Chain A
Amino acid sequence: MSVTDSSRVTEHAPEGRHPTWRGWPTWLGALVVATILMHAVRARLDEAHVALVFLLVVLGGSAAAGRRLGISLALLAFVAFNWYFVPPYGTLLLANPLDWIVLLTFLVTGIVAAELLDRQRRATRIAEQRADEISRLAKVRDEAEALRRADALKDALLAAVSHDLRTPLTTIKGIAHEIVGGANAERAEIIESEADRLSLLVDDLLEMSQLDAGALPIEIAINTADDLIGAALQRTQGILRGRPVEIDLPEDELLAGRFDFSHALRVIANLVENAVKYSPDSSPIVLGAAVTDGTLSFVVEDSGPGIPEEERDRVFEPFRRGSQIPRGVRGAGLGLSIARRLAEVQGGSLRYEPRPGAGSRFVFSVPAAEATPPE
Chain B
Amino acid sequence: MAAVNEAPLANAVLVIDDEPQIRRVVRNALQPMVSRVLEAATAREGMDLAAAEQPALVVLDLGLPDLGGMEVCRDLRSFTAAPIIVLSARHGEREKAALLDAGADDYMTKPFGTLELQARVRAQLRRYTASASASSRVAAGDVEIDLTRRVVTRAGVEVHLTPTEWGLLRAFVAHPGQVLTHNQLFRKVWGGSAGDAQQYLRVYVGQLRRKLESDPIRPQLIRTEPGVGYRFEPRD
- A residues neighboring B (CB under 8 Å): 159, 162-163, 166-175, 177-178, 181, 192, 195-196, 199, 203, 206, 217, 219, 221-224, 226-227, 229-231, 233-235, 247, 249, 254, 256, 260-262, 265, 371, 373-375
Least Cβ distance of B152 to chain A in Å?
Answer: 17
- Determine if A226 and B216 form an interchain contact, defined as CB atoms under 8 angstroms apart: yes
Report the Cα distance A338→B45, complex, angstroms: 42
Report the Cα distance A28→B91, complex, angstroms: 79
Task: Decide: A178 near B114, CB < 8 A? Known: A227-B202, A233-B217, A373-B203.
Answer: yes
Q: Is the interface of A mostly helix, strand, loop or mixed?
A: helix
Report the Cα distance A374→B162, complex, angstroms: 11
Task: Decide: A374 near B111, CB < 8 A? Known: A162-B89, A231-B224.
Answer: no
Least Cβ distance of A26 to chain B in Å?
Answer: 70
Least Cβ distance of B214 to chain A in Å?
Answer: 13
- Determine if A373 and B90 form an interchain contact, defined as CB atoms under 8 angstroms apart: no
Report the Cα distance A373→B195, complex, angstroms: 12
Taking CB atoms and an 8 Å cut-off, the chain B residues in 164-202 that contact chain A are 164, 182, 196-197, 199-200, 202
Report the Cα distance A230→B199, complex, angstroms: 20
Q: Which residue of the partner chain A has the closest CB to B230?
A: A227
Report the Cα distance A208→B32, complex, angstroms: 40
- Determine if B111 and A173 form an interchain contact, defined as CB atoms under 8 angstroms apart: yes
Q: Which residue of A175, A199, A222, A235 is within 8 Å of B25 (Cβ)?
A: A175
Residues of A within 8 A of B199 (CB): 221-222
- Determine if A375 and B91 form an interchain contact, defined as CB atoms under 8 angstroms apart: no
Report the Cα distance A177→B63, complex, angstroms: 24
Q: Which residue of the partner chain B has the closest CB to A203?
A: B91
Residues of A within 8 A of B26 (CB): 174
Report the Cα distance A230→B218, complex, angstroms: 5
Report the Cα distance A254→B63, complex, angstroms: 41
Residues of B within 8 A of A256 (CB): 202-203, 206
Least Cβ distance of A367 to chain B in Å?
Answer: 14
Q: Which residue of the partner chain B has the closest CB to A163?
A: B89
Q: Is the interface of B mostly helix, strand, loop or mixed?
A: helix
- Determine if A170 and B112 form an interchain contact, defined as CB atoms under 8 angstroms apart: yes
- Determine if A222 and B1 form an interchain contact, defined as CB atoms under 8 angstroms apart: no
Report the Cα distance A196→B219, complex, angstroms: 26
Task: Decide: A177 near B90, CB < 8 A? Known: A221-B202, A231-B226, A249-B217.
Answer: no
Task: From A174, A221, A230, name the one whose CB has the most chain B CB atoms within 10 angstroms.
Answer: A174
- Determine if A226 and B22 form an interchain contact, defined as CB atoms under 8 angstroms apart: no
- Determine if A174 and B29 form an interchain contact, defined as CB atoms under 8 angstroms apart: yes
- Determine if A247 and B217 form an interchain contact, defined as CB atoms under 8 angstroms apart: yes
Q: Which 4 A-B pairs have the closest CB atoms?
A: A174-B25, A373-B200, A262-B227, A169-B111
- Determine if A230 and B219 form an interchain contact, defined as CB atoms under 8 angstroms apart: yes
Task: From A181, A196, A374, name the one whose CB has the most chain B CB atoms within 10 angstroms.
Answer: A374
Residues of B within 8 A of A261 (CB): 202, 226-227
- Determine if B207 and A173 form an interchain contact, defined as CB atoms under 8 angstroms apart: no
Residues of B within 8 A of A177 (CB): 1, 29, 113-115
21 residue pairs A–B, Cβ–Cβ below 8 Å? A167-B89, A170-B25, A171-B19, A177-B1, A177-B113, A178-B25, A219-B93, A222-B203, A226-B216, A227-B205, A230-B216, A234-B224, A249-B217, A254-B206, A254-B210, A256-B206, A262-B93, A262-B226, A371-B203, A373-B200, A375-B162
Q: Which residue of B113, B162, B203 is within 8 Å of A254 (Cβ)?
A: B203
Least Cβ distance of A263 to chain B in Å?
Answer: 9
Report the Cα distance A208→B63, complex, angstroms: 23
Report the Cα distance A217→B93, complex, angstroms: 9
Please give 17 more A-B residue pairs, beta carbons under 8 A apart, in addition to A174-B28, A177-B113, A254-B207. Answer: A166-B109, A167-B21, A171-B21, A171-B25, A172-B111, A173-B111, A174-B24, A177-B115, A219-B227, A222-B200, A227-B206, A230-B216, A231-B224, A256-B202, A261-B202, A373-B203, A374-B200
